[in-house]
Structures are given as C-alpha cells and as structure tokens.
Amino acid sequence: MVATGFFHDENWYVGDETRDASYSSDDGLADVIAVESSGGGSFASDYSSGTHWSSSSSTTTYSPDGEASVVGGSTMTWTATSFGSTTQGASGAPYAYSFSGGGDPDAWIAGGGDDGGLGASWDEPAIEPTPPLYEGYWWEVGKGLKGYFYDAPKSLASGVASAVAHPIRTIEGIGDLVERLATDPGAVVGAVGDAVGRKLESGTEGQAELFGDVALAIFGPQVLAKAAPLVGLKKAAETAEAVEAVEAGFRGATGAGWAGDLGAAARYAEILATDDVAALAKHAGVPENVVSSVKTHLFDTVHEIPIGPDKWYVGRFHPSTEIADLWQAASRGERIDEFRLLIGHEYAEHVLMKYTGLPYRSPHPSAWDEGASMATSTHFGAHDMAPHAWEPRPLSDLQIMMWENFLGRP
Amino acid sequence: MSLSEAKRVMESIESLGEGFDPGKAKHYMSLVKEFVSRARQFRESHGLALTSPFFDPTEQLQVILPECLERRLRDWETGPSRPNPYIKMACRGYIRYLAAREDLPPDQREVADIYAPLIRLLTEGGSFYMHHGDICIPDVGTLPVVAY
C-alpha cells in the first residue's frame, strides 16, 4: 500500500535532541510534529511517487518505541526495533516504520507505489475521521487570506510540492519546503513555471493562487540570489558601524521617542514562561509547531531590525500590551479570530526572515522617507510581504509586486 | 460638552468603509506623524511618563459619555467591522475628547486634540495599528515610534 499524498519530512541535528519531523497526508489526517532521535542529517520523501531525497549520509539511531499525536484524531506508533539504526543517503533506505492507529486509513492510503513500508500495519479505522482542520483555520483567517493559501495548491500536481500543497498546513508547509529545498531546490522552483504571470491576469482567484505558488519558489537559491540585491539585503553584521547594538528587550525613553510598554515586557516574560502552546494550537486549530515558532519569533528571538537607512536595532521585538492580551486571551479560547490573523502574519514573517535572510523591513535608503519605512515594490522586508496582522484584508497590489520582484519576475 | 460634534464623528466612524488610495501613501504617513507629534506634545506639556502615543488625553477628566453615545460606540467596537484595538483606542479617545472639549481649559483644548489626524486617516480609507514598536499603516509603511 502507499499513502496518497503522504509526505514525510525530517530534519535533525547532530546530537541528542528533539527532531523536527513531520508527516502529512492530503486529507490532513496525518500530521506528526516531533519525535526523538539522535544523529544528524535530513531527508524528505514523497511516498506517493516513491521518490526519495537525502542530503546526507548520517547515521541515525532512533529512540525506543514511541508514540506521537497525529492531527486529525489518529495516533501513530512507531516501533524502534523495526528499523533500529539506519543509514540515510540512498534511495529506498530502509525506512521500516511500523504504523498503527486510527483515523481513516482508507482516506489516505491507497494502492500502488513504494511506501517504504508505510501503512503496512494500519489497523481498521478505530476513530471516526474528524473534519480537516483547515476548514476551521484558514477560513477563519479571513476570506481574503483564505484564497492565498488554501486555493493555491490546487493547480500544482508536482509531488515535490505536496508539502505546500497540503491544505491543512500550507503556511507550515512553507517551513517544510525550506527543508525540501536543501535536497532538491531545482525541482521546487521548476514546479512553479510561469504560473505567476498567468495568475496575475486572472482576477482574484488567480491572485489567490499566486501566493501559494510563489511560496513554492521563494526559498530557491536561484530566486534568493535575485532577491537579495533588490531588497538591499545586508545583514547587520555587515554594517557594523551603523549597528546600534541594544540589549534584548528595550531601553527607557530617550526623549526622542516613546519608551515602549514597560508593563508589556513583564507580560512577555510571563508568556515565555508559560506552557501554552498546546492549548493555543487546540483553540486556534493551528499545528503546535506553528504556534511554537511564532511564540519564539514574537517573544524570544533577538532580531536585527532596520530602524533607518542602513541603521539597525538588535534586540527582541518591542513588547505590546495588545499582543500580550491577545496571546493570553487566545490561550483561554477567546479572541481566536484575531489570534489566527496574528499567527498568519507572524508565521509568514518568521519563515521569510529565518529561512531567506530577508530583513524585517528594508534598510535600503530608497525605502525610507523622513523617518518612516515606506516599502516599495523593489525595497521591502518580511513584514511588508506577510499577510496583515489585526486586519483580514487580502494582499495588496503592492504586496503582490513585492512577491513578484522577490522572485525576480518584474 | 460638544456632543453634536461627537455624534457627527460617531456617525462617520460607523460608516467607515473602503476607499484606500495607494496614491495617498505619503499623505497617510504624514497624518500618522502628525498624530505622534501631537501625542508627544501632550506628553511633554503635561510632564507625563507615557510610554505609548496611544492614550486617553481626557483620562483625568472623568468623562462620562451619554448612554446613547456610549452604546453606539460599544456596538461599533464589537460589531462586524471588528476594528483593531488601536483603532478602538483612537476612536474612543477622540469621541471622549470631543465630548469633554468644552470642559477643558482653553489652553488645553488644542493640545488634547491628538487623535484628529488618525480619524482623518480612517475616513480617507487608511488604517493603522501598533506593531513591534512601530505604527503600521497597512499597504503604506511603518513609522518607528519607540526609542532605540
């Protein structure tokens, strides 16, 4: 048997630590977020096409038998003894996973192809299938935004694209895609073809598809090479004389500006110390790793943020009472609509910054006008490209031009 | 109380809709800068330790809006337009300012008028919110306002 659209993606680092692994299927029933292992390397496999990629030949020793939650009401159990230690790096490496659990296997396991043993031990359905989470997630993000993500994958048949084509976790799939590009960037970029130009001319739905399509390509080295000079991409470290290194957090008022919300700083610290990711993911219908990534991005990561032409601030984002209020309300199951908007914005921003090196906003002098950052279609940053926080408005014409230029398609 | 003016502004807030004009980008940004300037002027003239430009300039006056106006404001805040928290603060702050304006000392009436530029921004199709220490105008740009 083979899992139709079943996609497996793992990345881990040398040393014992929690690995970042994901399993997905087209119907959204399979979505494992993390298991433990030791070793190093990465590989990705599209079991529906029998294609395997590997970027290393590291040896991985898997942890003893374990169990991971599978979004959609299933539980996946793997048996360490079935594969023990295995060497990655060759097509058809012995991924002898043993799966068992509920959900609706018939919905995501079909005949044909090489599944590397996946699905071989699926039991009869033990749990009623639950509705795909995207119905509650992206729809709620807002009509305008929904199309950009949910509709995008429909036109993409490539197996390479299946991580992003997964409707439940398209945004999350952007992160997956980055990993995939480590092994086969050409295939991902090639999957986009000339679709961008056509879709721009085909109205709202076409534009809706655009975002998803470009998401497939933005992390390609070829694209990034074109994008970097366009956005004036320079790391703060390269403009050391202009960098104003500030301790994480923020300073008091200088008289020139506002001190920032001192009360919110304590709230941010409180949030960081709170184990709330699982609750937020459940309330919002968002995968836990997305919430976890956004939490780190918002509250803990030290960013390099342009605050003027070639001038940088190094520190955490300035705290905001309103974001703290929203985060804590969402953890209680309140203000979920607003929270989803925030998550959508921050996750896209996070992925663009972390994986492409795009700055929060452009430090290029052309993008600054008397103290204000006025992004242009050629000088912009991750914040400018991301769907808006707080307001469910679709990507603007300017944002779409940014995406085009980021892709080197003026 | 300047209730007639407050009610007129309430009506314009209730009817906010589309109308964003990308050609007005610099104009929108100038309105935000004017707001920040006015807020800073208020902060300095009162010697207050305010940490954000979003505050209620009538906080010390114990303004109580007429019930009908308060209800309309609350209905709009929780209604289908779902204004973001910063738009709510600006609109409520401006309505309260208008309602209390005549109670303010003459020399304070102008300096307390901090939100008029943002109300104008909204009525001309723009929007705004605070984001990581900036005031963000969607599809226009961001104005860093915190001290670096």
Contact call for B146 and A259, based on CB within 8 A: yes
CA dist list (Å): A343 to A266, A347, A406, B87: 21, 6, 22, 20
Residue A338 has pLDDT above 80, yes or no: yes
pLDDT at site B3: 81
Candidates B52, B86, B143; nearest CB to A371: B143
Rounded to the nearest angstrom, the minimum Cα separation between B113 and chain A is 19
Residues of chain A with Cβ-Cβ distance to B84 below 8 Å are: 338, 390-391
Task: State the nearest Cα–Cα gap between B4 and chain A, in angstroms.
Answer: 30
pLDDT tens for B16-46 read: 887 899 999 999 999 999 999 999 988 888 8
Chain A to chain B Cβ contacts (< 8 Å):
109
Listed ranges A45-54, A249-258, A292-301; the one with the highest mean pLDDT:
A292-301
Among A372, A383, A399, beta carbon nearest to B29: A372
What tokens appear for A286 in the block? 């968002």
CA distance A190 to chain B (A): 30
Q: What is the pTM of this model?
A: 0.60
Which residues, listed in sequence order, are joined to residue A31 by a DSSP beta bridge? A24
ipTM of the complex: 0.91
**Residues of chain A neighbouring B135 (CB-CB closer than 8 A):** none
Min distance A332 CA to chain B CA atoms (Å): 19
Token pair in block for residue B117? 């530029």
Find the CB nearest A372 among B131, B141, B146.
Answer: B141
Going from N- to C-terminal start, the domains of chain A cover: 7-108, 140-217, 221-406
In the predicted model, what is the mean pLDDT of residues A133-149? 30
Amino acid at A151: D
CB atoms within 10 A of CB A405: 19
Contact partners, residue A190, CB within 8 Å, separation at least 6: none
Q: Could you tell me if A142 and A345 are in contact, meaning their C-beta atoms sit under 8 angstroms apart?
A: no
Higher pLDDT, A28 or B96: B96
Which residues of chain B neighbour A375 with C-beta distances below 8 Å?
Answer: 141
- What are the residues facing A36 on neighbouring strands? A18
CA dist., res. A8 & res. A30, Å (int): 10
- Output the pLDDT for position A358: 79
Asked if residue A274 has pLDDT above 90, the reply is yes
Question: Residue B145 is nearest to which of A244, A258, A390, comparing CB atoms?
Answer: A258
Percent of chain B whose pLDDT exceeds 70: 97
What is the share, in percent, of chain B residues with pLDDT greater than 90?
56
Position A335 pLDDT exceeds 70: yes
- From the CA of B145, how many Å to the nearest CA of chain A? 6
Residue predicted with more confidence, A55 or A385? A385
Percent of chain A scoring above 70 in pLDDT: 33
pLDDT given for residue A189 in this prediction: 39
Q: Which two tokens stand for residue B41?
A: 């002027």
Q: Nearest C-alpha of chain A: how many angstroms from B125? A: 13
Stretch A142-147: mean pLDDT, rounded?
Answer: 31
Across the interface, do A260 and B143 touch by the CB < 8 Å criterion?
no
Confidence of residue A221 (pLDDT cuts 50, 70, 90): very low
Residue B118 has pLDDT above 80, yes or no: yes
Q: Which residues of B touch A262 (CB under 8 A)?
A: 51
Mean pLDDT of A118-122: 30
Confidence of residue A260 (pLDDT cuts 50, 70, 90): low
Domain hosting residue B52, numbered range: 3-144
Name every chain A residue with its beta carbon within 8 A of the beta carbon of B147. 250-260
Position B36 scores a pLDDT of 93
User: Parallel, antiparallel, or unpaired for β A17-18 and A20-24?
Assistant: unpaired
Q: In terms of pLDDT, which residue wins out, B80 or A242?
A: B80
Residue A368 pLDDT level (bands cut at 50, 70, 90): very high
Cα of B61 vs its chain's centroid, Å? 17
Residues A96-121 have a mean pLDDT of 30
Task: List the strands of the sheet with B141-144, edge to edge.
Answer: A368-369, A372-373, B141-144, B134-137, B129-131
Chain B residues in contact with A397 by the CB 8 A cut-off are 22
CA atoms within 13 Å, Cβ hemisphere of A20: 18
- Which of B40, B139, B147 lies closest to A251 in CB terms? B147
A383 touches chain B (CB under 8 A): yes
Structure confidence at residue A278 (pLDDT) = 95
Residue A86 forms contact with B (CB below 8 Å): no
Q: Note whether A325 contacts B: Cβ–Cβ < 8 A.
A: yes
CA distances from A138 to A71, A154, A165, A237, B6 (A): 16, 15, 14, 37, 38
- How far is A195 from A407, CA to CA, in rounded Å? 12
Nearest CA in chain B to A252: B147
In whole angstroms, give the CA distance from residue A125 to residue A137.
Answer: 25
| Chain A contact set for B144 (CB, 8 A) | 257, 307-308, 371, 373
- Domain count for chain B: 1
- Say which residue the tokens 């300037």 belong to: B37
Chain A hits for B142, CB-CB cut-off 8 Å, are 361, 372-373, 383
Nearest CA in chain B to A307: B144
pLDDT-based confidence at residue A398 (cuts at 50, 70, 90): confident
